[in-house]
Structure 1
Amino acid sequence: MPSVTIGTDAEEFWQRAGGWLERSPVVHSVLLTTVDRVRRGAGSGPGGVFAVLSSSSDDGGGGGVAGVAVWTPPFRAYVSAPPVGAELLALAMLAEHPGVDGVTGVADQAAAYARAWAGHTGGTVAVAMDQRLFELDTVVPPRPAPGAARLAGPGDRDLLVEWTLAFEVESNAAPGASVAERVVDLLLAEQRAWLWDDGGPACFVGVSRTVAGVARIAPVYTPPARRRRGYASVLVAAVSQAVLDAGAHRAALFTDLANPTSNKVYTALGYRPIADVTAHVFTR
C-alpha cells in the first residue's frame, strides 16, 4: 500500500526523491529549484516541509517514489503525483501541517489535491491562476528592439523590488514585500537579474539557478507605460540564450493562460508547451 512520509530535512528529502525529480526536470523545475535553495540555505526565508509518497508501505528506506509535495511558506504547496497520489499527499499534509493555504501543480494533480483538502476540511477552493509551462532548447531570434540587455546591479534593487511586487500582484501570487525583497536580493547576489535598458530600465527578467540542466525564466515584468515595444521578447531571448550558453540544456518558463499575447510571444522565440499548471488558493 502507498504511504506518505513527511519531514523538514531538505537533504534527506533530496537523497530520497532527487533522482525521481530529475527524471522530468522541466515539469519539476519549481520543485528542483526550491529544494536546491533550501539545501543551500540561500536567502533568509524559512525552510520547508517535504512529503514523499512511496509505492510501498515502508517508511522511506527502500520503496519507490510515486509522488512528492513541498511547502515553503509563505508560498503555496507544490505537488507532483498522479491524482490518487495527490489526494493521499493532501490528506497527509493536512494532518501534520494544516496551515497549507494553497497548492500548485500540473492541472489534474493540483485539482485532485485541492478536492481532497476541501472534502476533508469543508473549506472552499478557488483557482488563482491557470498557467502553461514551456521549454526551449534553441532560441529563435526575435525582431530587434532599441536598447540593450545588462545584468542588474545593487543600484537597481529598489526598482526591482517595486517591479517584483507589481508582477506578483498581476499574477495573483503576491506573498508580500519582505519576500519580494528576499527574491530580489538573491537574484542580485547570484547575478540572475537582467534589465533591458532603453533610455533607462524598460524590462526586468529574472532567472533561476540551473538545476538538473534546466534554468527557469521568472519573473518577466515590463511596466505598463513601456509595454508593446518588444522589450520582454528581446530580453527573454537574451537571457534564454545566456543560460544555454552557460551550460543549461533547456530553459523553461510559465505563462498566464489568460494572457494570449505572452503565449504567442514566447512560442515565437522557440518555446514549446509542456503542461498546463494550476494554482489554487484555500479558504477554511
Structure 2
Amino acid sequence: MLAGMRCEITSDPGEFWATTADFLLTDPVLNNVILVNVDARRSGTITDPAPASYLTVRDGSGAVVGAAMRTPPYPVYVSRLPAAAIEPVLDALLEACPDAAGLTGTVAEADALAPAWGRRTGRPVEVEMDGRIYRLDEVTPPARVSGTMRRAGPADLDLLLAWTVAFHREATPPAAREAGPEPIEMWRRELERKVAEGRVFLWDDAGPVSYAGTSRPVADVVRVAPVYTPPEHRRRGYASALVAAVSQAALDEGAVATMLYTDLANPTSNKIYAAVGYRPVADVRTYRFGRPATDAIPPSQNRAS
C-alpha cells in the first residue's frame, strides 16, 4: 500500500455510515448511489442474504478522502478518489471482493481501476456502459401530454415486475445477462417495498403506459430510477411527462434536488431529461469483468515487484 493512504473494509453499514457519511455528503448527488444503499441497509429497510463490502479511504492525516461499495450481485461502485489512492483501493477491493462482476465510477476512477483489476486477476475487462449523472433543481414543464400521473398500488405489482424485467433485458448488454440468472425475486421484493412506501409512479392514459421509481431521500436528494415505457407506448411524450411530474412531486415533498443516471448510448433519454430541467453533473463508466482464464495467476501472486 502506498505510504500515507490506508483503506478500511467493513460489512457493517452502520459503522461505514459513522466513519464515511460526512465525506459522501459533501456531494450527495455524485455519491447518491452509495448514500442511498448504505442508508437503507443501516436502517433495516433492505436486508440482503449476501453481505455487502464497504471501503473507506483515509489519507495520512486520517481524513476520509474516498469510498467504495460492493453489494452483490451489482458491480463495485467507487467515489471520486485521489490519484494516490488508486493502488491501495485496488489492493483492498481485490482482497474483499475478488469475484466482483464489474466496477462503476466516474470515468477517471473507473479507467484507473478496472484495467488494473484485469491485469492483476487475468479476467477480461470491457466497458459495459458509459453514462451520465444529471441533477434537477427546478422542473421545466413539458408540453401537455394526454394522461395523468398516479402512485402505483399493490394491484399494479405484476405489471411493474414484467416491465422491470423488460427494462433490465433492454438495458443490460448480452454479456452481462449471461453472467448469471436474473434476480427476479429480488426485483419483486424491491417493487413491493417501494410500492408500499409510495415511491413507484405510473403515467396513466386509459391504462398504464409508463412507470418510474424513486429512491428514499438522503440529504434531501431523490434519485429517479428506473424509468421505463414499453415500446408500443413510446414517442408520445409519456416518459417526459412522467419524469417531470415525479421530479416535481419530490421537490414538493421537500427534496432540494432530484438526480438520475442515463446511458449515453441512448440519446433520446438524454434529450428528454435535459428538456425537463436536468443538467449534467459527471460522466460515469461501468466495466464488466469476465471469467478468468484457466491459467490466470492468483491476484496475490500477480503483482509487479
Fold-level similarity (TM above 0.5): yes
Question: Post-superposition shift, 1:169?
Answer: 1.6
Query: Counterpart of 2:258 in 1: which secondary structure?
Result: strand
What letter is aligned with 1:235? L
User: Is the CA contact 2:41–2:47 (under 8 Å) kept in the aligned structure 1?
Assistant: no
2:31: which partner in 1? 28
Look up the match of 2:295.
Answer: none
Contact 2:135-2:259 at 8 Å conserved across structures: yes
Cα distance, 1:167 vs structure 2: 1.1
1:103-114 equivalences in 2 (<5 Å):
103-114=103-114
**Distance in 2 of aligned mates of 1:200 and 1:237:** 19
TM-score with structure 2 length normalisation? 0.88
1:67 maps to 66
Structure 1 residue 183, shift from structure 2 partner: 2.0
User: Quick one: which amino acid aligns to residue 165 of structure 2?
Assistant: L
- For 1:127, what is the secondary structure of its paired residue? strand
Question: Which residue does 1:218 correspond to in 2?
Answer: 225
Q: State the Cα distance separating 1:48 from its structure 2 match.
A: 1.2
Identify which of 180, 198, 203 aligns with 1:196.
203
Deviation of residue 116 (structure 1)?
2.2
**2:8–2:57 Cα contact (<8 Å) kept:** yes
In the other structure, the counterpart of 2:300 is none
What is the aligned residue count? Answer: 279
Evaluate the alpha carbon distance shift between residue 43 and residue 112 of structure 1 in structure 2; reply closer, same or farther with a 3 A threshold.
same
Structure 1 distance, partners of 2:240, 2:230, is: 14
Shift of 1:176: 2.1
Cα deviation for residue 100 of structure 1 reads: 1.3
Give me the whole-angstrom Cα distance separating, in 2, the residues matched to 1:225 and 1:179.
Answer: 27
Aligned partner of residue 184 in structure 1, secondary structure: helix
Matches within 5 A, 1:1-284: 1-46=4-49, 47-56=51-60, 63-80=62-79, 81-172=81-172, 175-283=182-290, 284=292
Q: Which moved more, 1:225-234 or 1:103-112?
A: 103-112
Deviations 1:223-257, CA, capped at 9 Å, x for gaps: 00000000000000000000001111100011110
1:91–1:117 CA contact under 8 A, matched in 2: no
CA distance in structure 1 between the aligned counterparts of 2:221 and 2:280, rounded to whole angstroms: 15
What is the percentage of aligned positions where both structures have the same residue?
46
Contact preservation (8 Å) 1:79, 1:86: no
Displaced runs of 4 or more, over 6 A: none
Is the contact made by 2:213 and 2:226 (CA closer than 8 Å) also made in structure 1? Answer: yes
CA distance in 1, matches of 2:117, 2:84: 13
What do residues 41-72 of structure 1 show as CA deviations (whole Å, max 9, x unaligned)?
2234234111111102xxxxx71111111011
Is the Cα–Cα contact under 8 Å of residues 53 and 96 in structure 2 kept in the other structure? no
In structure 1, stretches of 5+ residues that fail to align are: 57-61
Q: Secondary structure at the match of 2:125?
A: strand
* Structure of larger gyration radius: 2
Unaligned runs of 5+ in 2: 293-305
Rounded to whole Å, the distance in 2 between the matches of 1:54 and 1:226 is: 49
**RMSD value, Cα:** 1.4
Question: Which secondary structure state, in structure 1, belongs to the residue aligned with residue 209 of structure 2?
Answer: strand
TM-score w.r.t. structure 1 length? Answer: 0.94
> Is the Cα contact below 8 Å between 1:145 and 1:230 reproduced in 2?
yes
Aligned AA for 1:194? F
